[in-house]
Amino acid sequence: MIEAHTGDFVDSLPTISDKWTILSSLSERTVCSQCNKSRKYFCYTCYLPVPDIAKDVPPVDLPLAVDIIKHSKEIDGKSTAVHAAVICPKLVNIYSYPSIPNYTAEDEALLVFPGKSAVSVNELVSKVFSNKDLNSQLPSVVPFKKVILIDSTWNQCKGIYKDPRISGLPCVVLKKRITQFWRHQNGSPRWHLSTIEAVHQFFVEFHEALALQNCGSFTNYEGQYDNLLFFFRFMYYVHLSKAQPGWDVIPLEDDLTPEVRHTTCSGALIAAYIVQTACHCISKESHSREAVAPDGTKLNYIEHFYRAQDVFENPLYSFIGNTLITRLVNWHRPKHYSIHQNCRFLHALPAMYDQGFIILEETVPSRSNLAAISYAPLYRSEEMLRYHRNAIEQELTCLRIGHGLYRITSRDGGEVFNYDPNPSNSLRWGWRTLLNRYDCKYAAIRPEFRLIRYDYDSLSTCDCGQSPQHHLLEQDLRYSSGRGDSGGPIVCGNHLYGTIMGSTPPNIRWPKFDYYTPNTFFLWEMSYEHRESFLHESDLIRRGFARRQLYPRRLDEPMLQASSRILHSVFLTTTTVLMASLL
C-alpha cells in the first residue's frame, strides 16, 4: 500500500523547472525516433525524451561523469536511473551487470556505497583539500572524474559490490533523508533512496562540500542539480496524487471512489493473486508483417503481433468486491502481465489467443479480507476439450457478465442515434447462444472482408455467440459490449468457458454477435493438472525471485479421451474491473 508523505522533499525544491507539468498533457504514446518502439514520456532503451517534450527537458551541467551499474533483473521501464541518462545524455552511462568497465586508478572514480571504509562526501572532500591548492579548479583539486552508483535492490547491491572491478574503489556514504519513491522496498529503511534521488543527493552534497572549501566557482547551493528530478517530480505527483488543479489522477493513497469513465477491462479471479483477462487489455503492438502461408505464398492481410506491456508504463489496478463501479474500494496493484506468445491481431479479423493474465503484487485475501471470494473452478485438460467441443456442437446458451452500453443520448427518430460511450455503473448479465464453427466463421468475417485469404479453420481461436433479436433500439443497444467489458468471463452450463473479446459495433442491428476466446487454448494456465506449475512460476515472479517471463510456457495438449463426467462445481466468478492509472 502506498503511504501518504508529510514534509515532502520534492515540495522544497522550487528550482525544478515548472515545465514538468507539461508531461500531464501527454495522453497518447509516441514512437521513439531511434528504436521505433512505443513510449509515453521517454525511451528507456535509447535514453531519449519523446519528441513532443524534447525541447522542454531541462539540461543539467554536472561536475563529474556518472556511471550507473544496473542489475540485470532490474526492469528498464521501472528504473529511475533512466531519468539521469535522459536529462544528461553526455555525462551519464548505464551498464547492465556484469557487463561493466574494468575500473582502474586512471579512471579516478569513486563509488556511492556504504562500505566499511566509506566516509561522508564532506569528509572525503575535506581530506583531499587538506593537501591541495585551494585556488585550483576541478579536476585538479579533487582527484575524481567519475562517480559510480549501483541500481538494484539492497541484497543484489551487496553482491555487485563484491565484484573486484569495483570493490577497490573509494566509497562515500550519503546523508540520510526520507525517500519519496512511490515503490519503496518492503523491509528496507526509509532512507534507502531511489537511484535518481541518490544521484541528486550526491551532487548536492558534493557541491556544498566544495563550497565550504571555497573552491573556485562553487558557492552556496542554489538548486543547480535539482532538475535531475524533473521526471521524478512528475511521477511522484502522479503516483501520490499531489497533482496540480485540473489533473485527472486517481488518488491511490486514499479510499478510492472510481468512476465509470475509468474502466478499462474486466477479468475473472482464477487464483489468490492472478486475474484472467484479455490479451489486448495488457499488451501493445511490437511489430507487424504481411501474412505468409506455410508454402511461402504471401497472403493479402497484415498480422500485428503484440507483447505484454510494462506494468510501470501502463498499470491496471484491479478492483473487487461490489457490483457497482462507484462502490469499488478494494484495489490491487499489478506486478506483471503475461500473454500468449502467439497473441496477434489480423486486419478486419478476430484476434488470436486473446487472453492474458495479471499477476498481482499482493494476494486478494490479504487486502480484501472481508470480500466473499470464489475462484474460477478447475477442470482437467481432457474435460475442457470435451466440453468445448460439445458446447459448440450443441450450441449451448451461455451467460455473459459485464457492464456494457446502456443509454441512447439522442436519435433522429429512425435508426440513426448517439449513445453514451461510458458503460453502466451496475454489473449486468445476459444470455448468448454459441454458434457452431461454420456459422461463427461467417459471423466473424464480415462480407466485405471475405476475400481475404485467411485459413479460418486452422488459425482461428475465436468462438461466437449470438444475442436474441430485439425490436426496440434501446434493447438492442444494451446487448452491445462497452468499455471495460473485454476480458470478462463467459459461462456455459455453469462452467467457465472463456473470456470476452468484444462484439459487433453498437450501430449494427440484429444479428448481434459476441466473440470469445475459449480456455481450451490456455491449458497450462487453466487446467487442473498444470495449475501447480503455473502457480509456482507465478508466485516466484510475484515475490521477485524469478526473472519476469514475457510469455507463459507453450503447451501442446493432444485431444485426450474424455472422462466419464465433467467435474461438478458450484461456480461463482468474481468479476474485477481494471482501472487505468491515468498518467
Length of the chain: 583
Helices 230-240/195-212 angle, 10° precision = 130
Task: Give me the pLDDT at residue 252, please.
Answer: 41
Looking at this protein, which amino acid is placed at residue 45? T
Which residues have CB under 8 Å from 538's CB, separation 6+? 271, 273, 274, 338, 357, 359
Cell of 272: 489468490
- Give me the CATH topology for the region 260-580: Thrombin, subunit H (2.40.10)
Among 41, 25, 22, which Cα is nearest to 248's? 25
Handedness of CA 321, 78, 222, 87 (dihedral sign): negative
Task: Give me the pLDDT at residue 580, please.
Answer: 42
- For the chain, where do the domains classified as CATH 2.40.10.10 start and end? 260-580
Burial of 339: CB neighbours in 10 Å, binned 0-12, 13-18, 19+: buried
pTM, entire model: 0.55
Cell of 166: 569495483
Separation between Cα atoms, residue 567 and residue 154, nearest integer Å: 47
Task: Give me the pLDDT at residue 52, please.
Answer: 85
Separation between Cα atoms, residue 488 and residue 503, nearest integer Å: 12
Separation between Cα atoms, residue 170 and residue 116, nearest integer Å: 10
User: Could you count the other beta carbons within 10 Å of the beta carbon of residue 255?
Assistant: 8
User: Could you count the other beta carbons within 10 Å of the beta carbon of residue 271?
Assistant: 21
Cis peptide leading into 315, omega within 30 of 0?
A: no
| Pairing status of strand 92-96 against strand 109-112 | unpaired
The pLDDT tens digits along the chain (583 residues) read 222 233 455 555 557 877 877 887 787 788 888 888 888 889 988 999 988 888 889 889 898 999 999 888 777 777 888 999 999 999 999 998 888 988 887 888 899 998 888 888 888 888 877 765 544 555 445 668 899 999 887 778 888 888 889 888 889 988 877 777 766 665 566 667 888 999 999 998 888 888 887 676 677 788 888 889 888 888 877 665 444 454 444 444 344 456 777 788 889 999 889 999 999 899 988 888 887 777 777 777 788 888 888 887 678 888 877 778 777 777 788 989 999 888 888 766 678 899 999 999 888 888 776 666 777 778 899 999 999 999 999 999 998 888 877 777 777 666 666 777 788 888 888 888 898 888 888 776 766 666 566 677 777 888 988 887 766 666 777 777 777 888 999 999 888 899 998 887 776 766 778 889 999 999 999 999 999 999 988 888 887 765 444 434 333 333 332 232 322 222 223 333 444 433 3
Integer CA distances (angstroms), 251 to 6, 238, 255, 294, 583, in order: 16, 8, 8, 51, 12
Task: Give me the pLDDT at residue 358, please.
Answer: 94
Task: Give me the pLDDT at residue 302, please.
Answer: 81
Separation between Cα atoms, residue 201 and residue 175, nearest integer Å: 8
Q: How far apart are the first and last CA of the chain?
A: 19
